[in-house]
């Protein structure tokens, strides 16, 4: 998803201060919180993830260069 779509989804879920969010990870984590899930997208928690039905799992598990985190 691109940032515009993530921003729209976050806004629709009632996430506050959407305009101040600039990273994809932060958008997804905000959406996860709004949906009542752990805000773990592309964090170190992904290595212990058991949420096999998570809508973000495939994107989350992709390798990410350290400098991009």
Cα–Cα distance between 2 and 5 in angstroms, integer?
Answer: 6
When divided into structural domains, the chain yields a total of 1
Give me the mean pLDDT over the 38-46 stretch.
Answer: 90
Give the domain range for residue 9: 3-68
Instruction: Show the beta-strand stretches assigned E in the chain.
Output: none
* Cβ-contact 34, 15 below 8 angstroms: yes
Contacts of the segment 34-37: beta carbons below 8 A, 24+ positions apart: 34/10
Residue 50 has pLDDT above 90, yes or no: no
* Cβ-contact 15, 36 below 8 angstroms: no
What pLDDT is stored for residue 63 in this prediction? Answer: 82
Residue 2 has pLDDT above 70, yes or no: yes
Q: Is the pTM of this model over 0.75?
A: yes
């Amino acid at each position: 998803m691109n940032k515009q779509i993530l921003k729209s989804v976050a806004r629709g879920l009632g996430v506050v201060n959407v305009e101040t969010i600039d990273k994809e990870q932060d958008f997804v984590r905000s959406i996860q919180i709004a949906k009542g899930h752990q805000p773990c997208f592309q964090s170190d928690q992904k290595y212990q993830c058991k949420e096999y039905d998570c809508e973000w799992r495939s994107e989350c598990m992709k390798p990410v260069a350290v400098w991009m985190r």
